[in-house]
Each structure stands twice: as C-alpha cells, then as structure tokens.
Chains A and B, each alone.
Chain A
C-alpha cells in the first residue's frame, strides 16, 4: 500500500461532557474513495469538521501527507489541498452558478489583491484562467444549462452539484463530501455515484464521504469506516463491512436491507 495521503490519528472530540469522537484512527490512501458511515448522531460530521479544520480535536491529530493539519484554520487546510463541501444550502446564494465557481478559485490567484484592484497583467491572466477553469468544471459536472442561473433559484440536485463545483474550483487533492446522495431518488443517486467515481478517475482526487444511503455507499466505496457512538467499530471493504457483526448490530432495528444485503 502506498503512503497514506490522509491519516486520522487517535482523534477525540469532547463538547463539555459529551464525547462526540473517541480515539478514532484510520488512514486514507491516495485516490481512494472512503466512506464514513454510522447511525444518526454517531459523530460523522464532527469528524469531518475536524479534518477540514472547522473545529479542533480535543486529543489526537490529522495528518495530510505526513504534516499535521488539525489546529489550522479552514482556509489554511484548504490551501494545502483538503476541502470540504457542505450540504446543499451552503452556496453563495446571490451569485450565478458561474460566479460561484469563479469566486471559489481564490486559492489559485497569483496576483495580489492590490494587483486585482489595479488590474495588473497577472490579475487579468488570473481572471481569464479562473473563467476557463470554471467553465471546465461546469462542463465536467454537466451544469452547462444552468451556468448563468442565480444560485438561489436552483433545485436541490443542482445545488449539490454546485457545492461540488465550488469544492473542485479550489483544485483540492482530497475532497470531503457531506452526504452527497441525501434526498435523491435512485436514478439521481446512480448518476451521482458515477460522478464521484469520475472525480477520482478523471481528476485524480481522493474522496472522503459521509453518507446514509447504504446501497450507494456499498456501490461506490473502496473502503468503509463505520462509527457508532463516537467510536470506530469497523473498517474494511464493503463486503467486510456488510459481514461485520458489530456493524449489523449498530444498524439493528433497521432491516438487513438497509446495509445493502
């Protein structure tokens, strides 16, 4: 196995008396699609926020290519190449789709803000570069038809794709997707599954996702980490996870079908 791109090492997060994550460790290999699953309130989102720098672990650390990224503010984590997307409501509402994607190219600017103010040559080159790259991303995600639509007017499915486009615009190496399939019907989910695969296959990304939709997770993931009550209870390939008694126990009450068997 190649050196892991992302290492989660003994991450524990306590909110007052509540332990949201307890000593969670796992590695993510480059160009891997890894899903974090678990029942509601298991601490998946908390874990995600810690990886992206939105909250700091109480104990433990997150390493990106061997360097510690936990404790850094989100914009620095993003600069290094680890970017999270949000659930659908988190977009720049009063901008068009294209403007959303263009503005998200911030990290790629070579000119300074002053350069942009005076319209220096570098700034103009940057702007042209952003526009080109934004159009690329829009085409990649199949959003051509809504390119100039105001983001606040978009339906859910498109919003999620837009969130992904914003994430892609930063040109990350690791992208964290927050419930990319939530609220989608079967067809939409399958399209999104194909899209996430293409993120890895065509753009070379490492994808980490948090998801509830078990059939989709089983279909898409190289590996799965299951957490329950803040603790990691299992890690392995989809078939290993499906056979794992602790996972089945965690999901008991929901039928076996819920984990795709």
Chain B
C-alpha cells in the first residue's frame, strides 16, 4: 500500500462524451437500479434485500469520497469519521433545532467539508502510509468526541429521530412524508439509489473534467504538478473536502433510516471497509467503488448461508481477488494488456 500501488491503478482518460454505447449502458443501469431491483424484490418477496441494497447504495456514496482521495494519491481510512459527523449534524438539527431532514442533508455534507478543510490543511501534507495512519485515527477521534460532547448526548446517542418529512417546493410535493408511506423501505431504497446515481455522476464529471486531470497530475507527481503551476495544497484540500462531503451525506441518510445514532454507529471497521470497497472495485475506475461495495456488502450478506464458514470464504476470496486482480475487478474490462 504505497504510492506505487496507487499509481499502477491509474485509469486511461476517456473523453466525457456520451457515445451511444455509453448511453445504453447508463440507461440499462438506471433501469436496473430503479425498476428491475424493486420488481425482483416484489416477485421474490425478499423484502430484506431492500435494507441491504439501501446500505449498499449509501456505503457506495461514502466509498466514492474515499476513491476521490485515492485519486489524488492519498490513502483515506477515515471516512467513517465524516459519516459519523454528518449523521450527528443531521440528527441534532432535526431533533433539537426542528430542521427538515431534507435541509439537513446538504448541511451535513457542508459541515463535513468544513471540518475536513480544518483537518486536511495540516494532515494532507503527509504522504503514503503516514497520511493513512492519521486518517485511521480520525474515526476513533470522532467516536470519542461523540461520547464526550454534551450536544451528542454521549453514549445514549440520539434516538427516535422522526422519519424524513415532506419535501415541497412552492406547495408542490416532490417527496411525500415518509411516515405516511405504505412502504417506507422502498422509499428509502429509491432515495439512496438516487443519491448514489447523482454522486457517481458528479464523480464521473469531476474525473473527466480539468479538476480530475489535475488530481491525476497530483497523484502521479506532486513536484511536477506544482512546477506547472498547480496549487497542490489547495487542490488536495479541495478533493478531500469533496470526499468528506460525500461521507457526511451518506452518514446523514443512514441516520434517517435507522432513526437513531450512537457514537458507535460508524467505527474504524467501517472506515476500513470504505477503503476495501475502493480497492476491490478498482482505484482506476470511477464506478469501481460502487461495484466493490455491492460485491463486498451484498456478498457478505449472501454468504450467511455458509454459516460458520462465512468469514473464512469471505476473507479467502478477498485475498484471492487482491492477488489475482490487484487493480480491482474492473481491470478485467481493460482489454489493453500490461501497460506498465
């Protein structure tokens, strides 16, 4: 896990143009997410999949952020901290200040972005494993802060958070009150999926715009990047704050679904998992973390049929995948061989 492994996983730049093939792909993907999945669940009656898939969608939003920090050449094992901060910001604003959940969603993201700027300014000077170590500590710092601060209600956490209310613009209901819905599980799934789609669209645009090109230049050679006039310190903080924004939003929605938050809602394991999702999917591919999250999280769930062998099979296949496909599963799509 040094800078070299990150570099080998660099993508080929593809134009940001919508080719017909790509349009069909996106269409099929949207159809699958928004129509086929609910249909499949309705037919099979596996309602428990809704919770799993909602989690996958939200975790992949957080993982998208982690992926972006990988994209500037930094290993981020601290996304759990921002998910926790985002969750608490949303919960406190809803419960104590009477905000609508929908207003707290962007606020949670922005709060995390601000926190990440303050934290990022000093720590983003670190590289490689040193940065990773510091981020690893962040989740624990966030958990302990949540325990200690009066506003977070300590270990008792914040519970009985109301479900998201109605979202109306000029009296027109865009999203109905979740409490009145016959099937809030489906509503949460659709909301998480929509969030995921928007997040990955934004990420894809970032990567294919100049910002992404500059991030790549940063990942590959910071000295050279600064010599061509890139404000490397600013760019690092910018990428990290976008990353944390995603983390905060994911956390806020998680809290809305579980209607509660505790200091242990997001722990170091979650932070590590966010990173694993990115590795598994492929650091060189925008949609890598989404696929990685699906496979890891859903795979874990499906493996429960293996009972006591669940962890064995799971970790065994993880190791095998890392050995066979070090650049992630999506590297299978790479037709060009061995570019190094």
Contact = CB atoms under 8 A, between A and B. Distances in A.
* Candidate in B8, B213, B238 with the most chain A CB atoms within 10 angstroms: B213
Given A90-B221, A117-B206, A75 B230 contact: yes
Nearest to B231: A75
* Candidate in A52, A78, A92, A107 with the most chain B CB atoms within 10 angstroms: A92
A54 B339 CA distance: 32
A73 B8 CA distance: 29
Contacts of B8: 94
A92 B216 contact: yes
Contact of B221 (A73, A92, A111, A126): A92
Contacts of A183: none
A152 to B, nearest CB: 6
A143 interface: no
A208 interface: no
B174 interface: no
A113 interface: yes
Interface string A149-172: 010110000000000001101100
A106 B221 contact: no
A117 B211 contact: yes
Contact of B228 (A118, A127, A170): A170
Interface residues of A, number: 40
B223 A90 contact: yes
Interface in B227-246: 227-233, 238
A86 B223 contact: yes
A104 interface: yes
A128 to B, nearest CB: 13
B221 A91 contact: yes
Contact of A152 (B224, B226, B228, B340): B340
A75 B229 contact: yes
B7 A90 contact: no
Given A113-B211, A152-B340, A86 B224 contact: yes
A74 B229 CA distance: 7
Nearest to A150: B339
Nearest to A117: B209
Nearest to A111: B210
A169 B228 contact: yes
B238 to A, nearest CB: 8
Contacts of A73: 226, 231, 233
Contacts of B151: none
Contacts of B216: 92, 94-95, 103
A93 interface: yes
A113 B205 CA distance: 11
Contacts of B213: 99, 102-103
Contacts of A113: 209-211, 238
Contacts of B231: 73, 75
Nearest to A169: B228
A160 B7 CA distance: 21
A79 interface: yes
Classify chain B's interface size: 20 to 34
A95 B212 CA distance: 13
B228 A95 contact: no
A132 to B, nearest CB: 16
Interface in A37-68: 52, 54
Main SS of the interface on chain A?
helix
Interface string B199-223: 0000001100111011011001101
Interface string A72-108: 0111001100011110001111110001001110110
B224 A116 contact: no
A5 to B, nearest CB: 18
Nearest to A102: B213
A86 B233 CA distance: 20
Contacts of B214: 103, 106
Given A52-B227, A95-B220, A75 B232 contact: yes
Contacts of A104: 217, 228
Contacts of B36: none
B85 to A, nearest CB: 25
Nearest to A109: B210
A112 to B, nearest CB: 9
Given A93-B220, A113-B210, A116-B209, A106 B228 contact: yes
A123 interface: yes
A105 to B, nearest CB: 8
A54 B223 CA distance: 9
B318 interface: no
A111 B211 CA distance: 11
A79 B227 CA distance: 9
Interface string B296-313: 000000000000000000
What 9 A-B pairs have minimum CB-CB distances, sorted nearest first?
A: A94-B10, A116-B210, A107-B229, A78-B229, A116-B209, A74-B226, A92-B220, A104-B228, A103-B213
18 contacts: A54-B223, A54-B227, A75-B230, A75-B231, A84-B227, A86-B224, A86-B227, A91-B221, A94-B216, A103-B217, A103-B228, A104-B228, A113-B209, A119-B16, A150-B339, A166-B228, A167-B227, A170-B228
Given A92-B216, A119-B16, A123-B210, 13 more contacts: A54-B223, A73-B231, A83-B229, A91-B224, A94-B7, A94-B220, A99-B13, A106-B214, A106-B217, A116-B209, A116-B210, A117-B206, A126-B210
